[in-house]
Amino acid sequence: MDNYQASCEGLKQSPQKWLITGVAGFIGSNLLEKLLALNQCVLGLDNLSTGTSTNLQRVRNSVTPEQWNNFIFVPGDICNPGDCKTAMLWNGVSVDYVLHHAALGSVPKSISDPAENHRVNIDGFLNILLAARDAKVTRFVYASSSAVYGDEPGLPKREAQIGKALSPYALSKRINELYGDVFSRAYGIPCVGLRYFNIFGPRQNPQGSYAAVIPKWIYSLLQGEQITIYGDGETSRDFCFIDDVVQANILTATHSNPSFTNEILNIGLGVGTSLNQLYNCLKNLTMASEPCEPTEPNVPAYCEFRAGDIRHSFSDISEARNRIGFLPRFTLEQGLKITIDWYRRFEKPS
């Protein structure tokens, strides 16, 4: 039995109280599904600005009625300190763990609206951190981002080596990490930041101008539309399946050593994949079970690089492996197969 299996078994034997912010979003709803399946008590805070009630309904459909009854949805906003305080209490008792994932997660959107990025990602982060401090939670786990590496050219990306931020989004995540460090030292609240690389999987929004590349491309391929690639296609990213992100959150929150605090950990697959490679893989996987129409475009369209984008990025996950026993269970292709099947069943237009 590995660390993750042991953690899950331990939670089944001794259920805990959790708060997930951004619970109706992509990552939040996947965390909710896993925790409910482990018979945990979960509070979920969301203002449904980017998350959806459909995500919550799909979680409800995937668990038993008894497990669903262990979930309390708290409609609210991390930008409202009162909502943050309310969300910390399960029937008057403070939650044990906070998994903070409410944020605006788009680099281009942060460039077009830096004030809103600051309001949500920095002011909102401080609000939820203050509420967690006052509730004396056991551990505060929050979503950081590989965007904080900025213009640091070294590969693979290692936690101690970061460069200058290239976008307001990247800056906001770095400020989150600095706040986590200060609160760990000044108030003794155990904070751990998870630097996510490029996460993908079921329930990720495939539409809109700021959609992530994998859901957007899957959605387009299933419609027979041509894919657009920013730059020359040799830009590379570290694509990590959502179930491995869930694993990282559970391992981090339930780490048995109370001194495990004030940490930053890379969470990714540890492999770089170019956009051209990703396109070819997705095209082959979608064609394997659903052949393309003869008139479907078979080459992507290339356009200018996007402002604020990092050229190459993939993670060194040795710290996460050594500190929490994190070990990705899904290859890129395995995760893409699961994701394509999900979009074919739930998101493909009729």
Q: Return the active site residues.
A: 169
Phi, psi (rounded to 5 degrees) for 99 = -115, 100
Phi, psi (rounded to 5 degrees) for 267 = -125, 110
Using DSSP, state whether 152 is helix, strand or coil.
coil
| Helix boundaries (H) for 191-327 | 213-223, 242-253, 275-289, 318-324
Beta strand segments in the chain, E: 17-21, 41-46, 71-75, 89-90, 93-94, 97-100, 139-145, 191-196, 198-200, 228-230, 236-237, 239-241, 263-267, 273-274, 301-303
> What is the C-alpha to C-alpha distance for residues 127 and 116, in angstroms, rounded to an integer?
15
Dig out the tokens for 124 from the structure.
């909102």
HEC readout, 116-133: HHHHHHHHHHHHHHHHHH
Are the C-beta atoms of residues 139 and 324 closer than 8 Å to each other? no
